[in-house]
Amino acid sequence: MQLRFPSIFVLLIAAMVAPVHALAEPDNSGYVFSVTVSSSQQLDVVLDRAEDLRALFKPDEHGKIAIVLHGDELQLFQKNNYASNQSTVERARLLDQDNIIDIKACQTMMRVLDIEQNELPSFIEQVPFAPAEIERLQNQEGYTRL
């Protein structure tokens, strides 16, 4: 099951307004979001929520937020699309650099979209298959899927 734009929006808002004590459980390794959006505006909403979490969420205490991309949004990060999506790509880079989010790209979908591995920024970790990565994060790393 993958989250579409409206679902991810609702879940990210819910995470933002959750009581701080609910986020403070030290046993939680992190949260994983399966993201499939179709526009830079929709991806910007996801990044907006991640930025909002920065004030409430300390990754060293609560774990990271893994965002697994496996849809058309991968094209937004292609080097030949950088000029038109620069602000989105740079926001994602800063959130990753600040350890707020960890962005992962599905190589299976990259092949479907004809995206070469060297066409994505180096801060995006490439994984072979999104559903398997989500399952791995849950089962091996203790992430909670939202």
Q: How far apart are CA 47 and CA 40, in angstroms?
A: 10
User: With bands split at pLDDT 50, 70 and 90, how would you rate the model's confidence at 29?
Assistant: confident
CA quadruple 71, 82, 65, 107: dihedral positive or negative?
A: positive
Nearest to 35 by CA among 146, 140, 128: 146
pLDDT of amino acid 63: 73
Superfamily of domain 5-145: DsrEFH-like (3.40.1260.10)
Delimit the domains of the chain by residue range.
Answer: 5-145
DSSP per-residue letters across 32-79: EEEE--SSHHHHHHHHHHHHHHTTT--HHHH-EEEEEE-SGGGGGGSG
Q: Are strands 30-35 and 64-69 parallel, antiparallel or unpaired?
A: parallel
pLDDT tens-place string over residues 2-25: 445 445 544 444 444 343 334 444
Q: 3-state secondary structure string, 114-138? A: CCCHHHCCCCCEEECCHHHHHHHHH
pLDDT tens-place string over residues 44-79: 998 888 777 666 766 677 677 899 999 999 999 999
pLDDT of amino acid 16: 42
Q: How far apart are CA 128 and CA 126, in angstroms?
A: 7
Range with the largest mean pLDDT of 30-44, 59-73, 86-100, 125-139: 125-139
pLDDT of amino acid 24: 40
Phi, psi (5° rounding) for residue 15?
-65, -35
Supply the pTM of this predicted model. 0.77
